[in-house]
Structure 1
């Protein structure tokens, strides 16, 4: 388990550094909190998509709520593991605010996902209704 946490911490730290370097090169002045929002937003939504696909395969009905709860739980564990790892290794600062903003990052990206999914379902429903209205015309 320790090796898994260290590996996850290294992946997150690498993403943190890459996004930080990219933002500096682009002339953006992102704070550590901004980086946490982006890193955990991206990691969280990728984790959610994998979890969601897996549960959709296992279930015959929608499992969005289950996928969200599972992903949020995993992200919660990873966020606190990273904060603890930062305290232990001295790489970064262990702060509750970092954990909170990281979780907000996932919630923000998840909300965007729900909006996109809702728009897709609404469009699909409207198109179906539009093209199915004239199909019951009797033939002469």
Structure 2
């Protein structure tokens, strides 16, 4: 996992250098590092927000759409959390930084979420059955 992070850092550094070259040298904007962070992260953030908004709006139209949105948000949070923990282990030398640990942690969330789904489906089916039984009882009284 350490090699993977080093590779990603190298890619980000190369993109950073290319952006400095394009924005400052080619376009002549003479932006500082702080200016570049402001604008680039701002554009990445607003583009991400627009995509998430469109996807969330679309998902909210489905039955259980809010559950889908909450699952995706939580899954995103869990990705950040498990990798932050693994990076923290590498920095502090408390534990071993392993990609497999992050994957196993994510599988733990998915497994428990599937238990939640099974329980929710069971409760929904039970509720529908009892509602149907009550309707039959109401029809008999007439």
TM-score bracket, shorter-length normalisation: 0.5 to 0.7
SS at match of 2:138: coil
In the alignment, structure 2 segments of 5+ residues that lack a partner are 1-59
Q: 1:95-106 residue pairs with structure 2 within 5 A?
A: 95-106=98-109
SS at match of 1:134: helix
In the alignment, structure 1 segments of 5+ residues that lack a partner are 1-58
Give the structure 1 partner of residue 119 of structure 2: 116
CA RMSD, Structure 1 to Structure 2 (Å): 1.9
**CA offsets 1:16-48 (integer angstroms, 9 cap, x no match):** xxxxxxxxxxxxxxxxxxxxxxxxxxxxxxxxx
Q: Using the alignment, how far apart are the partners of 1:89 and 1:138 within structure 2?
A: 72
Q: 1:90–1:129: structure 2 CA closer, same or farther, 3 Å change rule?
A: same
Max Rg structure: 2
The number of aligned residues is 81
TM-score (normalizing by structure 1) = 0.54
Q: 1:123-134 residue pairs with structure 2 within 5 A?
A: 123-134=126-137
Report 1 or 2 for greater relative contact order, CA contacts < 8 Å, sequence distance ≥ 6. Answer: 1
Greater share of helix: 2
Q: Tell whether 2:91 aligns with 1:88.
A: yes
TM-score (normalizing by structure 2) = 0.53
